[in-house]
A and B are shown apart, each in its own frame.
Chain A
Amino acid sequence: MVIDTLKCVGCSDCVVACQTENDVPIGYCRDWITETVNGAYPNIELELKSERCNHCDNAPCVRCCPTGASHQLDNGIVLVTGNECIGCGACIESCPYDARFQHPDGYVDKCTFCHHRLEKGQLPACVSVCPTKCMYFGDLDNPNSEVSQLLKNRKHKTLAPEAGTKPQVYYLI
């Protein structure tokens, strides 16, 4: 996933859309908006980012799961099988992005890149609802996909790269 921070206005539509699409209980969220302000008036910089599970290539949450409930598909998406999860909380502790949380039903929940929509050929709910169209989703292994082209042409960064998790959500800056 590639997100253009120059266009994001922090409206939090992605948060609500994910909530209604995935029945996320009120009080919890699978994605969220962060705001970073730097500088002093009137020389200020503002960055708004929509963050979620980064579906890392080197996912610590998959490694540490004792039951295998937390697993990674071939296309890179990290999922949790609810009825294999025992709720030990190890994956939550292992995520440097604090992307996981304990669902009130007991299992661990997080962003799934709207896996059920991808199977039907649709985009994740957050990407398809964003009013500024700042979110892009596609196959990073395909050099001709929109996301790969964006990464080739624009400056970008990931979150906490020093954690060594190889996150797959890129922010254009």
Chain B
Amino acid sequence: MQEELFTSGRNIPNIDPSLEIWHWPISVYLFLGGLAAGLLFFAGLITFLGKDKEYPAAVKFAAIVSPIALTLGLLALFYDLTHKLYFWRLYTTIRIESPMSWGAWVLLIITPISFLWVMSYYSELFPNWKLKFDFLNNLEKFLQKNRRNMAIILIPLSIILGIYTGILLSAFNARPLWNNAILGPLFLVSGLSTGAATIILLAKNAKEKHLFGKIDLVLIVIELGLIVHMLMGMYAGSEVQLEAMQLLVGGEFTLMFFGFVIILGLIVPAILELTELIGYKIPVAIPALLVLIGGLVFRFVMVEAGQITRYLY
């Protein structure tokens, strides 16, 4: 038999027996970040294509969620830091090789913009709460005039926001579960999908619901394809990757992964949306909520399972 053990009594908190550095705050942020990325992407794209009048939910109502999501996400991230008082160091340098640095800077820019975006729709969204100060009214008018420019900035930024967390995880070659290039696009597609689902939830007119239903369906199919791609890649990989795959496919996380993420989070909503498109009436909230839950659980599974996989011992 083979034994591998620590002789010197190593039992570092949060490192042994398996890594437990990132907990729920990170998973929550990944979800909220992806959600905000998706929402802002669609808001920007619709505005850029000049169709903002036709799809008010995408640009207005759903867009309220973005700053809230971003703020909550940032709070979660800040909460997770162990050396909190030094967080400002993030903004004293840009490290091109560190996806986390990109993310920090992108967040720094996109969060105020998302607030400004909502600000620009203020009078439409909150007609009962008039703005008191003149300069705020002028700000709102200014923003309304420059909405298209904001949209142009938002599109690339939101794509980076959606994809960088995946790239961040995939750059950790020490965690076999994360170390594949699919993760970036997968997170982006998942984020867009959750964004579309939110828009469906908050949409008021049927045309918008149907469009985003179709978009969501396409995104779900792409996402399923990417997940299959990821699993096949791990199946063909080295021993540590096989073990990582085992966690998802035949281990502790199988129920969560297959149950909540794949079946309930992807396949069932896809079927529901397909049947909706064919013509049957289905309360549209169900697939949307399932997608959202699936997205959240997916992030949890990836963060928790990924930290269990390791190269040595």
Contacts and interface: CB of A to CB of B under 8 A. Distances in A.
B21 interface: yes
Interface stretch (B30-38, B80-88, B136-144, B197-205): B80-88
Listed from nearest, the 9 A-B pairs whose CB atoms lie closest are A87-B82, A87-B83, A106-B83, A96-B174, A66-B100, A12-B8, A32-B10, A89-B21, A66-B101
Interface of B: 1-16, 19, 21-22, 80-84, 86-87, 89-90, 92-93, 95, 97-101, 103-104, 168, 171-175, 238, 307, 310-313
B2 A37 contact: yes
A68 B95 contact: yes
Interface in A59-82: 60, 63-69
A65 B98 contact: yes
Contacts of A118: none
Contacts of A98: 15-16, 19, 310, 312-313
Given A12-B8, A94-B172, A102 B90 contact: no
Given A34-B6, A64-B99, A101-B14, A86 B313 contact: no
Given A63-B171, A101-B14, A33 B8 contact: yes
Contacts of B83: 85-87, 105-107
A93 B1 contact: no
A27 B82 contact: no
Contact of B90 (A12, A27, A86, A101): A86
A78 to B, nearest CB: 14
Interface stretch (A135-143, A146-154, A156-164): A156-164
Given A85-B83, A86-B86, A93 B172 contact: yes
A138 to B, nearest CB: 24
Most A CB contacts (10 A, CB to CB) among B16, B104, B175, B312 go to B312
Contact of B174 (A37, A88, A93): A93
The interface residues of chain A, by DSSP majority, are classed as loop
A15 B174 contact: no
B19 to A, nearest CB: 7
Given A28-B12, A34-B7, A64-B98, A69 B89 contact: yes
B6 A32 contact: yes
Contact of A101 (B15, B97, B312): B15
Nearest to A67: B89
A160 B175 CA distance: 13
B313 A96 contact: no
B300 to A, nearest CB: 16
Nearest to A107: B83
A67 B7 contact: no
30 contacts: A12-B7, A29-B12, A32-B7, A33-B6, A33-B8, A34-B4, A37-B1, A37-B4, A60-B171, A64-B99, A66-B101, A66-B104, A67-B89, A67-B92, A84-B89, A87-B86, A89-B22, A89-B80, A93-B21, A93-B22, A93-B172, A96-B173, A97-B311, A101-B12, A101-B15, A102-B14, A106-B84, A107-B82, A163-B173, A163-B311
